[in-house]
Amino acid sequence: MATKAIKLRDLRRAFITPEGVDLRLELASAGSRAGAFLIDFGLMLAALIAMTIAAFYLASNSGKGGPSEGVFSFVGVLWLIGFFVLRNGWFSLFEMGSRGATPGKRLMGLRVVARDGARLTGAAVIARNAMREIEVFLPLSFLGAQAAEGLADTFLIIFALLWSGIFLFFPLFNRDRLRVGDLVAGTWVVRNEKAGLVEDLVGSAQRSRRVFPPAALKLYGVYELQTLEGVLRTENPEAIVTVARTIRAKAGLPDDGDDYGFLSDYYAALCVHLESGLMVGRRRESKFVEGQS
């Protein structure tokens, strides 16, 4: 449990606003980055296919008995430019927008941010995305061209995969999950999700609550309290039964048959207890730290 908590915190980076508050941005995980890229890649492919079909449709339906030369050339120019913009502009143009994210990144709740906290400039966006050429498109088109000519032998495929692999897994080899493009552009990708304001667990004292002996409240610290908060919010019946049984056994309390009620009362009481510690500057991080005496 403790190692997991440390791992989660590992992706947090200090990010101080001009007002002096640390927003503690959370870096995007490698999985969500890959997911976002796959979504974008799929969308690009779909756009390419749609564009090609439209071009064929335009070219074949324009004149009687075959396309006229003017239309043919016009459609050809459009297609070529469309392909170029799609390949080189998809990522850059979306990331230059106010959302700082491609559709794939938006779906995954990600955003590109300048590492130094300054405004994300066009130059940085272009730099980070031009690098995709050597990360993805170069080995891909190389492989495609060789395969089309029947020249793609095992060695070439291995080489192309190895080349891509180095760049593909580059984010896993550095602490900040930077792509080569991020490295050169001075950017990183952070999570930027919405979170609704959920219900207050403790609320106001409308009813009488269970009373716990002081010894029962000294068992746990903030980490356990927040884990209990998670259990109460997800409302998984099995977890509630297990946690209630564990706490009862540890505190030596009798079972009164109402697990959820017991846990929410215990949560409120523990919260009050730990908060009273906070007020005098004593924060008990977890059950492994000595409680305030």
Asked if 266 and 229 touch (Cβ cutoff 8 Å), the reply is no
Of 208, 234, 254, 257, the residue at the interface with another protein (CB under 8 A) is: 208
Using the rule CB under 8 A, is 268 a contact of another protein?
yes
> Which stretch in 47-55, 57-65, 247-255, 274-282 sits in contact with another protein by CB under 8 A?
274-282
Q: How far is the CB of 47 from another protein (least distance, A)?
A: 16
Using the rule CB under 8 A, is 236 a contact of another protein?
no
Find the helix packing angle between 69-96 and 30-61, rounded to 10°.
160
Using the rule CB under 8 A, is 183 a contact of another protein?
yes
What part of residues 2-41 is at the interface with another protein (CB under 8 A)? 17-19, 21, 23-25
Residue with tokens 């190692």: 3
| Backbone phi, psi, residue 113, to 5° | -135, 145
Q: End-to-end distance of the chain based on CA atoms, in angstroms?
A: 26
Q: Which of the 8 DSSP states describes residue 140? A: H
Query: Of 196 and 237, which CB lies nearer to another protein in the complex structure?
Result: 196
Residue with tokens 């999700």: 193
Using the rule CB under 8 A, is 231 a contact of another protein?
no
Using the rule CB under 8 A, is 134 a contact of another protein?
yes
For residue 183, the Cα-to-chain-centroid distance in whole angstroms is: 19
Provide the mask over 57-86, with x wherever binding to another protein is found by CB under 8 A and - wherever it is not: ------------xx-xxx-xx--xx-xx--
Q: In the chain, how long is the greatest CA-to-CA distance?
A: 94
CA-nearest of 35, 34, 117, 42 to 86 is 42
Q: How far is the CB of 53 from another protein (least distance, A)?
A: 19
Measure the CA–CA gap between 109 and 33, rounded to whole angstroms.
Answer: 10
| Backbone phi, psi, residue 190, to 5° | -120, 165
The count of residues interacting with another protein (CB under 8 A) is 85
Q: How far is the CB of 30 from another protein (least distance, A)?
A: 20
Q: How far is the CB of 26 from another protein (least distance, A)?
A: 9
Measure the CA–CA gap between 135 and 140, rounded to whole angstroms.
Answer: 9
Query: Of 1 and 154, which CB lies nearer to another protein in the complex structure?
Result: 1
What part of residues 88-117 is at the interface with another protein (CB under 8 A)? 88, 96-100, 111, 113, 115
Measure the CA–CA gap between 269 and 213, rounded to whole angstroms.
Answer: 10
Using the rule CB under 8 A, is 164 a contact of another protein?
no
> Which stretch in 1-9, 31-39, 148-156, 222-230 sits in contact with another protein by CB under 8 A?
222-230
What part of residues 237-266 is at the interface with another protein (CB under 8 A)? none
Could you give the 3-state DSSP secondary structure of residue 254?
A: coil
Of 1, 14, 148, 198, the residue at the interface with another protein (CB under 8 A) is: 198
